[in-house]
Amino acid sequence: MVKKRDEWSSKMQFVLTCVGYAVGNVWRFPATASEHGKSAFFIPYTICAIVVGFPVMFFEMTIGQFHQIAANRLFPKYVSFFRGLGWCMAILNTIVGITYNTVIGWCLILFHIGCSTNMSSIPSDCLLNISETPSKQFFFNKILEKSHSISDFSSFNWRMAIAILVSAMGCALINVTGTKSMGKTAYVTATVPYFLIMALLGNSLFIPGGLEGIVSSLQPDFNHLTRMDTWYKAGGQISYSLSLGVANLISFSSCNSKNYNCYSDCLVVSMADFGMSLLGSLTIFSVMGILAFKNNPTGTVFAKPIAEELQRISLWIIALLFVVTFRLDHDTFGVFIVVTMLIHKEIAQVAKKEVAALDGGVLISETNQHGHLMQ
C-alpha cells in the first residue's frame, strides 16, 4: 500500500513557508547591490524577477503539485535523459545545507558572546593594524579560530562543533515531523523577522550616521546597467532568493492538491522577496552608515560584529539581529527536506552515502583550517 503523501494543513502555511525563503536576501542582496550600481541594481533585479523569477517559480510549483513526486522521479516523465537532474539538485542542496548549518553555527556563537560578554571588554589586538579591520580579525581569529597554515589540521574547534550540532538537531526535528511541523513554525519564523528588521532599522535611524548610510546606498550608478556582469548578478540573485532550480519549490508544492491555484501564491512570494530585498538593504546600510563606512564590510557576517561595537545600540537590538539571522535555519530545514524526499524509497546504500557526505562536509567546517577556506 502506497503511503499517502504529506499535505499542508492550510494555504497560509504553504505561502509562509515559501515566503520564509525570502528572508535569506538579507545575506547577499545588500553587498551585491552596493557592488553593482546601488539603487540602480533594482532595475535589472526587477526585470529579472518579472521575466525569469516569476515564470520559473510558477512553472516549478505547477509541475510539482501536478505530479506530486520528488524531482528525481519528476523530470524523467518529460525526458528520460533528465533523470540525473533531480540528483544534481540533491547534491546542490546538500552543499547549501552544509553551508547554512555552518553559518547558523557562527550566529549561535556570536549570539552567545553578545549576550554574555560586555561589549567594551571584547579584546582587540589589532588597533594599529591597517591591513584588517577589528571586526574581521575578531571573526577569523576568535570565532573560526583560524590556524596558522591551510595545511594545519592539528586542532579542532569544539565550540563550532557544538553550535553546528545544535543547528543540525533543529533540522532533524523538522525533518522527522515533516510539512505539518514546518508549516506551523512558519507562522512565526516567516513573519517575525520582518518586524524585527524594521525595529532594527527604526533604531538605527536615530543614531548619527544611520540616515546618511541609507542616503548613500540609494545614490544610483546607472553606468553599471550597461555591464553584462550586473545583469548576470541580478539573475543569479533572483534565482538564489526565490530558490529556483534546486527542487525546493517542487518539493513543497508536491504536498498541495492537484487542483490548487498557486498563481496568487507566486505573486505573494515575489512581492515578499522584493520587500525583504529593500528592507534588508536599508537596514544593513544604516548600520554601515553609523560607522561612516570606514570598515567597508562585505556582508552581514561582518556587519554583526560591527553592530556589537556600537555602544549606543542596546543589547536587545543586537539580540534581535541574531534572532533574525538564526531564523535562516528555517531555510536549512527546507534544504534538507528536499534531500530526504529525493532519497526516499531509494536503495539503502544511497542513503548511507548521503549521510557520509553530510558528515564529511560538516567536519571540515569544525576544524581550525576552516578559516583559511573562508578566505
> Binding site for Na(+): which residues?
20, 22-23, 25, 241
231 membership: H or E segment, kind and range:
helix 228-241
The CA-based dihedral angle spanning residues 252, 55, 244, 327, taken in that order and rounded to the nearest 10 degrees = -60
- C-alpha distances (whole Å) from 47 to each of 1, 126, 172, 235 are 47, 44, 38, 9
* CA–CA separation, 57 and 59 (whole Å): 5
- C-alpha distances (whole Å) from 135 to each of 64, 103, 296 are 44, 16, 11
What are the backbone dihedrals phi and psi of residue 367, each rounded to the nearest 5 degrees, phi first?
-95, 160
Half-sphere exposure of 136 (CA within 13 A, CB side): 13
Residues annotated in a binding site: 20, 22-23, 25, 241
* Residues forming a β-bridge with 367: 156
Q: Which three cell numbers stand for residue 267?
A: 505573486
Give 176: exposed, middle or buried? Use CB within 10 Å, 0-12, 13-18, 19+.
Answer: exposed
**DSSP notation for 169-180:** HHHHHHHHHTHH
From the list 369, 350, 323, the residue with the least C-alpha distance to 189 is 323
* CA–CA separation, 300 and 104 (whole Å): 12
Q: Which three cell numbers stand for residue 171?
A: 533540522
The contacts of residue 67 (CB under 8 Å, 6+ apart) are 74, 77, 254
Are 304 and 321 in contact, with CB atoms under 8 Å apart? yes
